[in-house]
A = this chain, B = another copy of it.
């Protein structure tokens, strides 16, 4: 953590901050320059994160040096993660996995036809929405458990792993009992109670990036799931919302 002082900070103010930092059990390193004095703080940044040093008199800004996440960082785990989702499908290895299927599950006949076709085309995971996040309350909201049953049936019939979205902490157990991968939609990337709930299962979780989320925030949301004990997280980059509307979203896809 770097504390940058204001050009007009008094010696008293500087001393006060140094004292505070030491009290927290951290080691300050003071560098006095011609234009600014800066204080480098060595030690666990987490302690400082919850101490609002910005409000101390004489402080101009506080700049974090370390990333706020741990379990999802390369420093915690150097190797690439491979998530085994069952039915022989592994995500994160050298083989690209294709997931395909209808936006919303409508009936078993159609779903089975689609499953046959995507299998033929090389996909190994069948996706289909049973609980749908609709911007309009008047739109079709999905078949619910009925849809999940169809998804499981079609997946089993064609040897495809399955994935479906869960939107409500109360539904996690139910959805997990039918599918191979739980999907967290973009709108729920920061629905922290939902993240905690899927963190308590051992099911693979596909976490979609929120429309206005930074990469850092996405990693923090993954950290939520990992900190609950579930390390089977798959990140899904689906682009972000920008002023450009000639495509539905902007970014690497």
Contacts and interface: CB of A to CB of B under 8 A. Distances in A.
Interface of A: 2, 4, 7, 27, 29, 31-36, 38, 40, 42-43, 46, 49-50, 63, 65-66, 68-69, 75, 133-140, 167-170, 187-188, 190-193, 196, 210-212, 214-217, 220-221, 223-224, 227-228, 240-246, 250-253
A221 to B, nearest CB: 8
Contacts of A139: 49-50
A62 B112 CA distance: 30
Would you list the 9 A-B pairs with minimal beta carbon distance, nearest first? A212-B212, A33-B42, A29-B31, A187-B190, A31-B40, A168-B193, A211-B212, A137-B227, A215-B246
A85 to B, nearest CB: 24
27 contacts: A2-B38, A2-B65, A29-B31, A31-B40, A31-B42, A32-B42, A33-B43, A35-B66, A36-B66, A38-B40, A38-B65, A49-B139, A68-B135, A137-B196, A137-B223, A169-B170, A191-B191, A214-B244, A215-B246, A240-B243, A242-B250, A243-B243, A244-B251, A250-B250, A251-B251, A252-B252, A252-B253
Contacts of A27: 33
